[in-house]
Structure 1
Amino acid sequence: MDNHSVSLLQRISIDPNICHGQPCIRGLRYPVTFILELLSSGMTHAEILEDYQDLEEPDIFAVLLYAAQLSQVKTITRLAS
């Protein structure tokens, strides 16, 4: 992983006292899942940044990189049928 990716991932924090330990952006109480939901609903980076002015564009890239890292699962096992 390059330095840029490491720097982006440092924007994602996990603190049991913030959002019940969900991964969040810089401890700001914006869970990664929330930003992913905004993006999947069709909001652009610019719209998100306009609506949530304490966020920065690298935060959105960090969320996407974090999600990409999580999706690199080698195998998926069915837990229930």
Structure 2
Amino acid sequence: MSNLLERITVDPSICHGKACVRHMRWPVEVIIDLIASGMSFDDILNDHPELEKEDILASLSYAKISLSGKTLEEVN
């Protein structure tokens, strides 16, 4: 899982410091919203070719860690 989590970055100069995918302006919360809206991984990847399947999996892993009360630093 830690390899996937390397795809999640936090940079104060990108999206107000929210957890994002690979220093892009793709906050984890937006990826989770896309999944919650019913989009499949394939739908997301077809609509947003800059994303990779591993980015979606990393976002889900990050969300799980956040809900557990841990931080990204504690896991990496």
Flag whether TM exceeds 0.5 (same fold): yes
Partner residue in 2 for 1:77:
none
SS in structure 2 opposite 1:71?
A: helix
CA offsets 1:18-60 (integer angstroms, 9 cap, x no match): 0010000001100000000000000000000001101000000
Which of 54, 57, 61 aligns to 2:53? It is 57
Give me the identity figure in percent: 45
> 1:27-66, aligned counterparts within 5 Å?
27-66=23-62
Q: Determine the C-alpha separation between the residues in 1 that align with 2:53 and 2:32.
A: 14
User: Where do 5+ consecutive residues of structure 1 fail to align?
Assistant: 74-81
Partner residue in 1 for 2:20:
24
State the structure with more CA Rg.
1
User: Where do 5+ consecutive residues of structure 2 fail to align?
Assistant: 70-76
Higher RCO structure (Cα 8 Å, ≥6 apart):
2
Structure with more of its chain in helix, by fraction: 2
Partner residue in 2 for 1:78:
none
Q: Determine the C-alpha separation between the residues in 1 that align with 2:13 and 2:5.
A: 20
Q: TM-score, normalised by structure 2?
A: 0.88
Number of positions where the alignment pairs a residue of Structure 1 with one of Structure 2:
70
CA RMSD of aligned residues (A): 1.2
